[in-house]
């Protein structure tokens, strides 16, 4: 029960972990913390194919072959300050996750979908753990805002 994905479907699969991670980064924005948070997200996404070698969903987007092919380019979302402040950004991340999961429904084994859901959450969690709220990213790693966002994502992903 594996599936071939269209370019639009591949983009949706790629967008969910990226937007989940960016949401956690932006929800408690700090000048110093942003750099290690984005680096943590990049590291999770770059290492996904090796971490999940038997997951057809992740391999379709994040494998070396998929990246070399270059058909799926991660587009930077247009994030506005008012979207962060209003909570619309977390809703956009949830919508991206929902779209990606709808693409996968009944097309790939449930174990792979669950692994992909875990990957999305791991991306968001890695961002939250990347930098603290203190000077130069020291101090408490996961802020209250980040924790709340992680809880929302965890509930949506059922992980």
Distances, alpha carbon 35 to alpha carbons 9, 103, 118, 140, 155, in Å: 29, 32, 24, 17, 27
Q: Calculate the average pLDDT of the chain.
A: 87
Phi, psi of 134 (to 5 degrees): -90, -170
Top-ranked range on mean pLDDT: pick from 80-94, 106-120, 140-154: 106-120
Which of these, 47, 41, 48, lies nearest to 24 by C-alpha position? 41
**What average pLDDT does this structure show over 47-58?**
96
Model pTM score: 0.88
Distances, alpha carbon 145 to alpha carbons 5, 61, 99, 111, 133, in Å: 35, 30, 24, 30, 11
Which of these, 156, 110, 149, 152, lies nearest to 24 by C-alpha position? 149
Which of these, 70, 85, 79, lies nearest to 18 by C-alpha position? 79
pLDDT exceeds 60 at position 136: no
């Amino acid at each position: 029960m594996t599936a071939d994905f269209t370019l639009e479907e591949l983009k949706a699969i790629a967008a969910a972990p990226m937007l989940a991670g960016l949401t956690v980064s932006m929800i408690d924005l700090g000048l110093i913390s942003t750099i290690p948070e984005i680096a943590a997200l990049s590291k999770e996404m770059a290492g996904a194919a090796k971490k999940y070698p038997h997951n057809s969903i992740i391999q379709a987007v994040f494998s070396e072959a998929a990246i070399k092919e270059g058909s799926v380019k991660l587009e930077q979302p247009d994030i506005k300050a008012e979207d962060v402040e209003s909570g619309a950004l977390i809703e956009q991340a949830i919508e991206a996750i929902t779209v990606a999961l709808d693409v996968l429904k009944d097309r790939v084994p449930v174990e792979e979908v669950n692994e992909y859901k875990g990957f999305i959450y791991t991306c968001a969690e890695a961002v939250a753990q990347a930098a603290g709220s203190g000077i130069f990213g020291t101090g408490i790693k996961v802020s209250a805002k980040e924790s709340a966002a992680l809880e929302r994502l965890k509930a949506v992903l059922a992980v």
